[in-house]
Amino acid sequence: MVKLSVKKQNELIEIEAKTLRDQFKDISGNKRAIAFKLIDRVAFMAITLKILEENIKTKGPVVKMENGKQKLVIENPAQKSYNTMINRYSTAIDKLTSMLPKEYDISSDPSKDSDDFDNFVQNRGD
């Protein structure tokens, strides 16, 4: 996936954007237009991150570089771009999820969640 034509990248970005729009369709009102613009940027970042990941997997996190007679080992520029973009991607996703109605809050308090294991541990009567 490292070398993709602009046309193919645009197709993948549109597929990603459609998927995200479907996931965030419950955002209402004025927030929806803003969210959908942000979704376009997030979709671009998601595809770019996949391309950067493939580059890093193929070439590794460090690459050899020659500068005249000097031979250096430097950080793969794709690694540097990936590290910067993944932080911005995470922030954008947080912004999108904060626009969801409260009943869709994915950052629920884990102390309110209960499962069978918790019930077992609390009621086992040591």
Residue 79 lies in a domain: yes
Range name among 39-53, 62-76, 81-95 with the lowest pLDDT average: 62-76
pLDDT value, residue 113: 53
For β-strands 62-67 and 70-75, DSSP reports them as antiparallel
Give the model confidence (pLDDT) of 85-108 as tens digits.
999 999 999 999 999 887 765 555
Output the six-digit token pair for 109: 């308090």
Is the residue at 70 inside a domain?
Answer: yes
Which has the minimum average pLDDT: 10-14, 59-63, 88-92? 59-63
Instruction: Examine the pLDDT at 67 and tell me if it is beyond 70.
Output: yes
Total domains, the chain: 1
In a domain, 109, yes or no: no
**DSSP symbol at 103:** G
- Determine contact, residues 49/82, Cβ cutoff 8 Å: yes
**Is 120 within the bounds of a domain?**
no
- Could you read off the pLDDT of 19-43 as tens digits, one per residue? 999 999 988 888 999 999 999 999 9
In this predicted structure, what is the pLDDT of residue 124? 66
The pLDDT, as a whole number, for residue 80 is 93
- Kindly state whether residue 81 falls inside one of the protein's structural domains: yes
The CA-atom distances, in angstroms, between 126 and each of 48, 96, 107, 115, 122 are 53, 45, 33, 19, 10
Domain span at 38: 6-101
Task: Please indicate, yes or no, if residue 114 is contained in any of the structural domains.
Answer: no
pLDDT score recorded for residue 112 = 52
